[in-house]
Chains A and B, each alone.
Chain A
Amino acid sequence: MIDPQVLAENASRKLSNLVDEYVVNANIVSSVMVKYADGEVTVTQSWKDYILDVYVSKNSKINTSTYTTHDPIEVLSKLPSLIEKLTASPLYTPLPEPTGSPLSIIDSRLKDSSLSGDISGLLGSIDVKSYGNVAGMIEISYSRSHYIGSNGLDSGFEITEFNGYFRVFRGDDSGQWAWVSTFYDESLARGALDKASSLAELCSSLPKENIETGYYRVLLSPMVSGNLLESVARFSTAGSVILGFSFLQGKKAGDIIASEKLTLREVPRNNRLPNYRGFDDEGVATMDKPIIERGVFKGFLHNSKTAKLMNEKTTGNAGWILPRIFNLEVEPGDIRESELLEALGDGLYATNNWYTRFQNFLEGTFSTVTRDALLIVRRGKPIACSRRARLAGSLPEMLSSIEDLSRERWQIKWWEVRAPIILPHMLIKKITVTSTTL
């Protein structure tokens, strides 16, 4: 197996005399994914990738590259001739001093199984078949990265990850749940199966009712609120603002943008989540920090380039060209999960959603389609189930309309929530729901 440190050192030697500045990240990723449909395995996939990410600058011109190839060092020789031909970037600023130290988190069971591709011992005890008609996937992975930069960065780290999701069907009804962790814990997979199964069964046991279009109190499961709050976090990166894709354009730290119940944090140093890391792509120390604290916007996420452009400081969120988010966390609220429906009173409990699209990024207007169990709740009791509806509104209005959150939190990552996030249920006072046909 190629050692990432050796690959990074070879790349560094190749670049050191050819460009003004560089950072290389040599990365080995081994992962295995088992996919299920109708309670059986449809395919098992195993990946082993050697990835070399490269940032170079010369005379204020900047270029990044990703080489997932057999001999990346040979390809590197093309870079200097390319960069000569670019024009100076208005985003250019010199690489900052590296300030971060590496952080690793390894579960040897995940590492060994990911590298060997043999998952029978690890996943054999998760009895997916016993839940009947189930679709979903389980993924384990191990990655090892080593960064070397002309700014003195020379550091590496390792991470393991265990994530997945299941959608359980009971006739035409269904429930879905997901999990993510840096450790193997089969109870997470079983918990997702149980949760998805119980939602499907609850929906199945209830009469079906169409929802009338109108305003509703809505309880959002962590699957739904994770999807919407991930968008909020992405809109808080300075890149989204500069490129014109954010309703936060024009906002400044200190502005009230949400209910005081909401605290959304970006947490690269939470070792339960797989983007756990001690430094960003520029070598700057990462830090856990609020994006929104008790409803108050705390500022944009930056790398050194966007920070300079907006006359602020880097937040340790590089991205070589534009900043990015690593992990997210939402502070818990006051409602026990067992009391959520009572707190909802009359309204809807949306357990899952997909296909969130923005009508207008600058105003944050969106709609999203619910899927799986959508419970109609009266006086705190589920009285009917509707399979699909559409939530439509604006993120600023939804954020201001958060009434409370649950005490219990879930670690979520799936197809519609790409950034790992720890978060509770979220109770929204008022949002437009439009009817769809059963």
Chain B
Amino acid sequence: MIDFIELERIVGEAIRSGAEYAEVRYHRVDGLSLFFLNGVLFGAYQPLVSGVAIRVVYSGGLGFSSTSDLTSEGLRDALSRAIASARSSSFMVKNKVVMGAASLGYAKYSVLERKLLVDMPVEDKINSLVEKLKSIDFKRDPMRISSYTLSYNENIEYKMLVTSDGAVIESRVPRVSLFYNISASSGERRANRWNMLAASGGFEVVDKVKLEEEINDDLNSLYTSLVKAQSPPRGRMDVVLGPEIVGLAMHESVGHPSEADRVLGREAAQAGLSYRREYREPQFGSELVTVIDDPTIPGSYGFYLYDDEGVPARRRFLINKGRLEELLHNRETAAVFNVESNASARATDYRSEPIVRMANTYMAPGDYTFEELIEDVREGVYIRKYMEWNIDDYRWNARYVGLEAYIIKDGRLGDPVRDVVLEITTKEFFSNIDAIGRDLEFSAGTCGKGEPSQPMPVWMGGPHIRLRGVRL
């Protein structure tokens, strides 16, 4: 086990070697996954990923190295590779990298577990999950279930961070996620529904996320889609969207394009660019809309109190009353924009450089009840859940395909419809919102970004919302 003294030593050696900035992170992720097929455990997986990441700025060039070899020789080699990488970068930069000034933390924090993951016997975890699955009635005649799978995943993320300009952070965040897929058919029609439920905390998360209720609800959605739903109406009409789709849209259409590295073109060849490179009108959408990214929500899947550059986390207002506001920054992008970092640097593991990421992105709730949202619609569709989505690499044109959706006629919910496709620009989406529900629900996700890819735990949330006159 490595300690802070060793990390401080590496930082000191980096600075003595001529680096302008050095950051050393010990990062350990202990995991356990259990895989169930049709209610029966079919395998387990136990990853342990631990090592040291070193990042240095040398003559304006940025270098990163990592190693799982924690011997003196291994750490020396990693430092020399980081400096060599930064030096080689420095010969090929026009704009020198600067890590922007920030109020840095000297802190230790951890997320407490009511049911300790390390103490709870694995057989108790298995039994608890099997019992939950057994309690679910999968029968929905004439729908047939061809298979269902569940994976239980826990990981305990432990980090020690030291930077050359004074950050010292120790953190421990346990997380639990459940991912399931149900494959169903009715006659010639087949469909599947996957879902992820997750939060930070101990094994109590399994109860908190209400696995049985969620699966039951998804079985009902599949039944509705496969057995009862008809073809959807087409044309321009009002649409009410459920929190699941609203949360996803906040992540995809607001969160990603607000990442400052994407705005600067650093992700141009991978996850793409952002409409916020060009969009200059501050009033972006309805004044009703406020979109926030907040890493500090207790129990959230994207929870942290200090980012991986040692900056204290806070709420970020990405859209405030319809106006585009903050970008998500790490210290490097903050320096370019001449602002202070808002603590968005996250790294998946010791092999990953900290890059700009979201945490928990959501639309702030309004004051409508669900009934009020519906009663004012003469002709429209309510889309409750989605089964497919994508968006272009400027984050401008998105597509959502409904799994469970209903006709709205004269202010009342009507028959279910299937395969409703909403293709809409981000601008149209936010401009056409005329009412926002007072509810707020979060969904869990694993956000993808970076090269090499860095999967990152996030929450996405929102209330029910109403869009007027959009094309289906």
Task: Check if A249 sits within 8 Å of B146, measured CB to CB.
Answer: yes
CB-defined contacts of B164 to chain A, threshold 8 Å: none
| B272 in complex: contacting residue of A91, A371, A434, CB < 8 Å | A371
A37 to chain B, nearest CB (A): 5
B375 to chain A, nearest CB (A): 31
Task: Check if B48 sits within 8 Å of A66, measured CB to CB.
Answer: yes
User: Which residues of chain A from 109 to 147 have a CB within 8 Å of any chain B CB?
Assistant: 117-120, 128-129, 135-137
CB-defined contacts of A360 to chain B, threshold 8 Å: 190-192, 387-388
A435 to chain B, nearest CB (A): 8
Q: In this complex, what residue of B is CB-closest to A118?
A: B84
Task: Check if A68 sits within 8 Å of B393, measured CB to CB.
Answer: no
CB-defined contacts of B185 to chain A, threshold 8 Å: 362
Contact flag A68-B44 (CB < 8 Å), given A41-B92, A49-B68: no
Task: Check if A388 sits within 8 Å of B392, measured CB to CB.
Answer: yes
CB-defined contacts of B4 to chain A, threshold 8 Å: none
User: Which residues of chain B from 352 to 406 have a CB within 8 Å of any chain A CB?
Assistant: 353, 387-394, 396-397, 399, 401
Q: In this complex, what residue of A is CB-closest to B185?
A: A362
Give how many A residues have a beta carbon under 8 Å from the other chain's beta carbons: 83
User: Which residues of chain B from 263 to 286 have a CB within 8 Å of any chain A CB?
Assistant: 264-272
A363–B225 Cα distance when bound, in Å, is 14
Task: Check if A68 sits within 8 Å of B68, measured CB to CB.
Answer: yes
A390 to chain B, nearest CB (A): 6
User: Which residues of chain B from 85 to 138 have a CB within 8 Å of any chain A CB?
Assistant: 85-86, 88-89, 91-95, 121-123, 126
A232–B300 Cα distance when bound, in Å, is 36
Task: Check if B147 sits within 8 Å of A243, measured CB to CB.
Answer: yes
Interface residue? B35 (CB, 8 A): yes
A434–B399 Cα distance when bound, in Å, is 10
A366–B185 Cα distance when bound, in Å, is 18
Which stretch, B5-13, B74-82, B170-178, B204-212, touches the partner chain A?
B74-82
Interface residue? B430 (CB, 8 A): no
Q: In this complex, what residue of A is CB-closest to B86?
A: A44
A220–B65 Cα distance when bound, in Å, is 38
Which stretch, B56-64, B236-244, B456-464, touches the partner chain A?
B56-64
Task: Check if A244 sits within 8 Å of B149, measured CB to CB.
Answer: yes
Task: Check if A369 sits within 8 Å of B392, measured CB to CB.
Answer: yes
A231 to chain B, nearest CB (A): 13
Contact flag A37-B393 (CB < 8 Å), given A43-B64, A244-B149: no
Contact flag A85-B126 (CB < 8 Å), given A41-B89, A357-B390, A390-B390: yes
Contact flag A359-B46 (CB < 8 Å), given A46-B64, A244-B192, A321-B35: no
A249–B191 Cα distance when bound, in Å, is 12
| B49 in complex: contacting residue of A46, A68, A362, CB < 8 Å | A68
Task: Check if A136 sits within 8 Å of B269, measured CB to CB.
Answer: yes
Interface residue? A227 (CB, 8 A): no
Contact flag A70-B51 (CB < 8 Å), given A38-B265, A245-B192: yes
Interface residue? B431 (CB, 8 A): no
Task: Check if A359 sits within 8 Å of B401, measured CB to CB.
Answer: yes
CB-defined contacts of B190 to chain A, threshold 8 Å: 360, 362-363
Interface residue? B439 (CB, 8 A): no
Q: In this complex, what residue of B is CB-closest to A39?
A: B94
Interface residue? A206 (CB, 8 A): no
Task: Check if A44 sits within 8 Å of B63, measured CB to CB.
Answer: yes
| A355 in complex: contacting residue of B28, B43, B391, CB < 8 Å | B391
CB-defined contacts of A64 to chain B, threshold 8 Å: 43-46
B243 to chain A, nearest CB (A): 20
A48–B42 Cα distance when bound, in Å, is 33
Contact flag A169-B37 (CB < 8 Å), given A47-B66, A49-B68, A390-B390: no
A42–B28 Cα distance when bound, in Å, is 26
Contact flag A43-B353 (CB < 8 Å), given A129-B92, A244-B192: yes
Interface residue? A354 (CB, 8 A): yes
A367 to chain B, nearest CB (A): 6
Interface residue? B70 (CB, 8 A): yes
CB-defined contacts of B453 to chain A, threshold 8 Å: 415
Given contacts A40-B93, A43-B64, A48-B74, 19 further A-B contacts (CB under 8 A): A2-B69, A33-B452, A37-B264, A42-B93, A44-B64, A46-B81, A47-B67, A49-B68, A66-B49, A72-B48, A91-B37, A244-B149, A249-B183, A321-B43, A355-B391, A369-B393, A369-B397, A371-B392, A436-B397
Q: Which residues of B contact A (CB under 8 A)?
A: 28, 35, 37, 40-51, 61-71, 74, 77-78, 80-82, 84-86, 88-89, 91-95, 121-123, 126, 146-149, 181-183, 185, 190-192, 264-272, 351, 353, 387-394, 396-397, 399, 401, 419, 423, 425, 451-453
What are the 3 tightest A-B residue pairs by CB atom distance, in nearest-first order? A244-B183, A135-B268, A359-B388
